[in-house]
A and B are shown apart, each in its own frame.
Chain A
Amino acid sequence: MFKSAIRTLLLLTLLDGVASAMAQVVVTEPWVRGTVEGQASTGAYMTLKSAHDVTLVGASSDVAGHTSIHQMQMHGDMMMMRPVERVQIHAGHAFVLEEGHYHLMLDDLKRRLNVGDQVGLDLQFLDADGTKQVVHVVARVRELAAHDSPHMHSGMGHE
């Protein structure tokens, strides 16, 4: 009786593990813009995809004192950036954090980020049922002048 209860518990734990592995958000091509000595902030970019609806609610990194989700918007010739509290990732649809759109803003950088460095990021997601999920990502540092793609996706038509 007691043994079987433990077995059930174990099984449930295992199943739970399988379920969360399946719900895991897949992060591809994460990168961080490199910095020069003394530079206090930079942006992180990546593609997020999930089999279920999830919400990105925050992020943190060892290299930054403060990390937030930012949205860049153009109003005429004005570039505006504002923090957003959450970003909805719809099931099966890739959400791209990219230049001219959304990025993770790494502030109060603790060190210079050199090209080729690896930066750890913990992304916090909420599942539809409110379960918290933290996805650890290792992003590669690219040069300060890097572009995420040969063209911009947000309709600004650069190159």
Chain B
Amino acid sequence: MSEPKREGRDRLFAVAVPLVAVAAIAALAALTPALSWLGSDRAAHFHGRDVTGQNWGAQFTLTDPAGHRVSLADEKGKAVLLAFGYTHCPDACPTTLARLAEVRHLLGGDAPRVQVLFVTVDPERDKGPILGRYVSAFDPTFIGLSGSEDETDAVATAFHADYGITKYQGEILVEHSVDTYLIDPSGRTRDVIPYSLAAREVADDVRLVLDGSSS
């Protein structure tokens, strides 16, 4: 079968990251563990990709399903786990959210110090109460956030997350990055958590930023 064609009319939200930047990030990512290893003061490492000091991410303000504006800065003092997705997602998003719910469970008494934010890349269809119901089904503390196209683009770009929406034979196809971003209690993005990490590994990484032992 032919590849689904992107339709120009439905504005494509694909956020272009120049190849050079990707290569630079990949090189940094490859070097980071080696450098950390050399630094004797670093007792522990992230299971994910350490992006400490790389100005990864940015402050943002989006809207929760109740219509309140929520800023990343509101979560200062907590570790934030930020993920992108959409409620029509049958597979990757439930896997990610179920894992993040398990992470909170594994953190036990530290769970209240962690906030999960789930940003929809499909705000057009995730309007109204659906986004809140969806994320709450995994954990009642999870917050679903949506924004305008520009707001969503800006947040995704800041976190080097990519997404696109395509129409194909009447179906709306969404693709998106499935990394989760760990932001420390002071608001700095520290760790890019790949989809393949297990809940206990994510919990280890969260403990590191809560302890401040990997700063």
Contact = CB atoms under 8 A, between A and B. Distances in A.
B94 A83 contact: no
A140 interface: no
Interface in B35-55: none
A79 B92 contact: yes
B99 interface: yes
Nearest to A145: B98
A159 interface: yes
B145 interface: no
B63 interface: no
Interface residues of B, number: 41
B66 to A, nearest CB: 15
Contact of B194 (A33, A77, A147, A159): A77
Nearest to B132: A36
Contacts of A143: 137
A33 B137 contact: no
3 nearest CB pairs, A to B:
A43-B90, A145-B98, A36-B133
A33 B169 contact: no
A39 B137 CA distance: 12
Nearest to B200: A159
A41 B173 CA distance: 12
A66 B87 CA distance: 17
A134 B85 CA distance: 34
Contacts of B177: 77-79
Contact of B91 (A66, A72, A107, A159): A72
